[in-house]
């Protein structure tokens, strides 16, 4: 079997990028380190999927067996870098006993093909994926309207490793022939050391492979690569099932932390970032399949439709793809269709246990727009105004236009981690305008979806009326709410002839829990008093509401009594429906029991002393 050799990169006369600079190329992503790694790797897997077949990805966290750990120490890393820190980190890991690894393995992809040396010419029919991933820095996007690149985001793979070391195993094709390749890489720091030509400066980038006859190393290939992958317990591969495995040594969830990826971390990261490609509406040729394994245990990954609030986002995504009930987002100067927006709302469903963790990024009440390019991967979520009643939520999807100039504008506005759209990254001109206008209009939609401003939903401007949708929800929350869209109902009861005496419609404030765990809806209203009636009272009338308006007698659930928990005004509190307010102005608070799977509204009526 071919022996592994170490190659440490010296600086060229014309200069190189030092390993420290290579690490910093990613910048500071808005996402956590694990999310950034999985997004980068899986985006590349999706871009490399073979025609007519959706990729399959295995995410696996495991401890190496004793023979596997011994193979690393005695075979692959038999030679260690002269650089002190890099050598100590790697040696300490290998000698420390149990070694944990995290693997991202794809199947049904093209693998890392092309030449193995960066100075070799590339044939027009070949993709230089191998050198772009393992050797080059900053390669441009090589997939039309693809999700990622091999350029900068790959530095996150090294950041996830406590010793900045990864091992690559790939089954691919080169010059028409099937080939297996395996190589290891480490990012250290620039240093000085002796060499055959004297004292030299080195970049801190290290590769392990087989000697190339020119002082460097190439990847192990053929049977040697297959045997090495087997020694490390990597997935079996053959020419009929191409793809790539990335093994990250000693993974950690965050820098300066010993925490390692958990099953819940992986499930959440995959679903929150890649649910569009996992939806039932996605064509089989593009659908992403994900398997998760932690220490030999398979971790189920729910379908997006079964993982609230992604069920709402999935519905909006399907609407967006079918152009059903969507809003067109357009710029006026220049006139251009920038993309389509769809929004779905519904009752807040119970969360999967993964989303109930304190550290979960999944919102407890969704009010966001998922931003995407036509590759249909989530760039980020734009937050919006939530429903005041936390029993309801909404989710939207915006997909930018697939016209080349528009899609290119959004793609070029993304930082290396592909986790945002930043117009200032673009030069002044049409492309910067496209992104600026889209983000401004989307932010306005997100802010006003729950409570549209007057005239916001003019026909022909926003497609199917968001005001009509919000008005229907307003009836569910409380048709008399001062925040709800549409015409407000009167207070329905003041006999005073003074124009200064009034009570505002009751507005829903929040949900609360009684001692017995019963849910209570808390309403507030503002009383403006003319101080003419010392016996003035306020009367509270709870009622049940359904989707579209007040319920009929047949709709009433058995646990709805029409009673109240408390009616409070200043220091006065009662459990009766009527409370004396006299000549004082102030805020009235009423707490109403809420039946299961229903919503309640509240009418407040002023009753003068003359009517008692």
- In this prediction, residue 439 carries a pLDDT of 97
- In this prediction, residue 496 carries a pLDDT of 36
Q: What does the alpha-carbon distance between residue 312 and residue 347 come to, in Å, rounded to a whole number?
A: 10
SS (H, E, C) 50-75: CCCCCCEEEEEEEECCHHHHHHHHHH
8 Å CB contact between 156 and 40: yes
528: enclosing H helix or E strand: strand 519-528
Distances (CA, A) of 341 to 249, 286, 371, 394, 446: 42, 22, 9, 13, 11
- In this prediction, residue 87 carries a pLDDT of 86
pLDDT at 419 over 70: yes
Ordered DSSP codes for 464-503: S-HHHHHHHHHHHHHTT-TTSSSPPPP--------TT-EE
8 Å CB contact between 304 and 376: no
Helix (H, G, I), strand (E, B) or coil at 176: coil
pLDDT at 70 over 80: yes
- In this prediction, residue 559 carries a pLDDT of 53
**Across the strands, what pairs with 8?**
206
Residues 6+ apart with CB under 8 A from 249: 93, 99, 101, 161, 162, 163, 165, 166, 167
Q: What does the alpha-carbon distance between residue 591 and residue 423 come to, in Å, rounded to a whole number?
A: 47
Q: What does the alpha-carbon distance between residue 72 and residue 274 come to, in Å, rounded to a whole number?
A: 33
Across residues 419-442, what is the average pLDDT?
95
How confident is the model over 326-341, as pLDDT tens digits? 999 999 989 999 999 9
Query: What DSSP character marks residue 189?
Result: -
Q: CA torsion 504→505→508→513, rounded to 10°?
A: 80
Write phi, then psi, for 305 (nearest 5 degrees).
-65, -15
How confident is the model over 481-526, as pLDDT tens digits? 333 333 233 333 333 344 578 898 888 888 787 777 788 889 999 9
Helix (H, G, I), strand (E, B) or coil at 609: helix
Write phi, then psi, for 8 (nearest 5 degrees).
-105, 130
When pLDDT is cut at 50, 70 and 90, the band that residue 213 belongs to is confident
Helix (H, G, I), strand (E, B) or coil at 227: helix
- In this prediction, residue 474 carries a pLDDT of 43
- In this prediction, residue 201 carries a pLDDT of 92
Write phi, then psi, for 501 (nearest 5 degrees).
-90, 120
How confident is the model over 443-466, as pLDDT tens digits? 999 999 987 765 554 333 333 333
CB-count burial class (<10 Å; 0-12, 13-18, 19+) for 610: exposed
pLDDT at 22 over 80: no
- In this prediction, residue 461 carries a pLDDT of 36
pLDDT at 150 over 90: no
pLDDT at 117 over 80: yes
Residues of the chain with pLDDT > 90: what percent?
54
Distances (CA, A) of 359 to 354, 356, 368, 469: 10, 8, 19, 33
Helix-strand-coil split of the chain, %, nearest 5: 25, 30, 45
pLDDT at 551 over 50: no
Residues of the chain with pLDDT > 70: what percent?
83
8 Å CB contact between 312 and 394: yes
> How many residues are recorded in the chain?
612
In this structure, how many other beta carbons lie within 10 angstroms of the beta carbon of residue 174? 18
Mean pLDDT (the chain) is: 84
Helix (H, G, I), strand (E, B) or coil at 90: helix
114: enclosing H helix or E strand: none
The gap from C-alpha 262 to its chain's centroid, in whole angstroms, comes to 17
pLDDT at 162 over 70: yes
Distances (CA, A) of 326 to 132, 548, 569: 39, 22, 45
pLDDT at 237 over 80: yes
In this structure, how many other beta carbons lie within 10 angstroms of the beta carbon of residue 189? 16
- In this prediction, residue 107 carries a pLDDT of 94
Q: What does the alpha-carbon distance between residue 114 and residue 85 come to, in Å, rounded to a whole number?
A: 33
Q: What does the alpha-carbon distance between residue 230 and residue 237 come to, in Å, rounded to a whole number?
A: 10
Q: What does the alpha-carbon distance between residue 597 and residue 347 come to, in Å, rounded to a whole number?
A: 9
pLDDT at 189 over 70: yes
Q: Which two tokens stand for residue 318?
A: 């399907």
Across residues 37-59, what is the average pLDDT?
87
More confident residue, 316 or 493: 316
Across residues 25-52, what is the average pLDDT?
80
């Amino acid at each position: 079997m071919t022996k592994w050799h170490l190659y440490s990169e010296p600086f060229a006369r014309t200069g190189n990028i030092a390993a420290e600079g290579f690490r910093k190329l990613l910048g500071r992503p808005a996402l956590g380190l694990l999310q950034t790694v999985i997004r980068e790797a899986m985006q590349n897997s999706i871009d490399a999927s073979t025609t007519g077949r959706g990729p399959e990805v295995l995410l696996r966290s495991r401890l190496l067996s004793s023979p596997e750990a011994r193979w690393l120490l005695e075979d692959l890393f038999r030679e260690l870098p002269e650089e002190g820190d890099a050598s100590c980190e790697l040696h300490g890991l290998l000698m420390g006993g149990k070694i944990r690894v995290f693997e991202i393995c794809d199947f049904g992809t093209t693998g890392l093909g092309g030449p193995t040396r960066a100075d070799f010419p590339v044939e027009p029919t070949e993709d230089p994926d191998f050198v772009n991933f393992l050797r080059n820095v900053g390669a441009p996007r090589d997939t039309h309207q693809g999700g990622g690149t091999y350029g900068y985001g790959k530095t996150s793979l090294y950041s996830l490793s406590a010793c900045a070391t990864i091992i690559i195993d790939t089954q691919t094709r080169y010059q028409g022939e099937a080939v297996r390749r395996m190589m290891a890489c480490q990012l250290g720091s620039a240093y000085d050391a002796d060499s055959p030509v004297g004292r030299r400066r080195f970049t801190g980038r290290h590769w392990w492979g087989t000697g190339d006859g020119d002082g460097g190393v190439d990847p192990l290939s053929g049977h040697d690569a297959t045997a090495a992958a087997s020694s490390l317990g990597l997935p079996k591969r053959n020419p009929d099932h191409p793809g790539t495995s990335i093994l990250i040594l000693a993974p950690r969830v965050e820098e300066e932390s010993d925490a390692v990826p958990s099953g819940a971390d992986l499930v959440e990261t995959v679903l929150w970032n890649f649910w569009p490609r996992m939806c039932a509406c996605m064509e089989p040729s593009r659908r992403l399949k994900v398997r998760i394994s932690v220490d030999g245990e398979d971790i189920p990954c729910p379908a997006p439709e079964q993982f609230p609030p992604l069920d709402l986002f999935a519905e909006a995504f399907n609407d967006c793809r079918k152009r059903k009930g969507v809003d067109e987002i357009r710029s006026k100067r220049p006139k251009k269709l920038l993309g389509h927006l769809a929004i779905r709302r519904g009752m807040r469903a119970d969360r999967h246990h993964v989303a109930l963790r304190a550290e979960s990024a999944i919102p407890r009440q969704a009010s966001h727009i998922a931003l995407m390019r036509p590759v249909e991967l989530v760039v980020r979520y734009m937050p919006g105004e939530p429903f005041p009643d936390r029993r309801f939520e909404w989710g939207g999807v915006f997909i930018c236009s697939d016209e080349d100039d528009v899609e290119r504008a959004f793609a070029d506005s993304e930082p290396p981690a592909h986790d945002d759209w930043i117009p200032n990254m673009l030069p002044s001109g049409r492309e910067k305008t496209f992104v600026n206008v889209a983000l401004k209009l989307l932010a306005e939609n997100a802010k006003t979806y729950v409570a549209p401003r007057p005239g916001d939903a003019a026909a022909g401007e926003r497609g199917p009326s968001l005001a009509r949708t919000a008005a229907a929800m307003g009836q569910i929350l409380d048709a008399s709410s001062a925040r709800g869209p549409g015409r407000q109902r009167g207070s329905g009861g003041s006999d005073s002839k003074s124009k200064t005496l009034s009570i505002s419609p009751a507005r829903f404030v929040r949900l609360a829990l009684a001692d017995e765990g019963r849910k209570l809806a808390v309403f507030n209203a503002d009383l403006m008093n003319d101080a003419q009636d010392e016996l003035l009272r306020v009367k509270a009338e709870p009622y049940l509401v359904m989707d579209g308006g007040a319920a009929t007698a047949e709709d009433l659930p058995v646990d709805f009594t029409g009673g109240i928990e408390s009616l409070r005004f200043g220091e006065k509190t009662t459990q009766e429906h009527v409370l004396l307010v006299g000549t004082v102005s102030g805020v009235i608070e009423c707490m109403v029991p809420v039946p299961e799977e229903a919503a309640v509204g509240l009418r407040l009526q002023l009753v003068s002393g003359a009517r008692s």
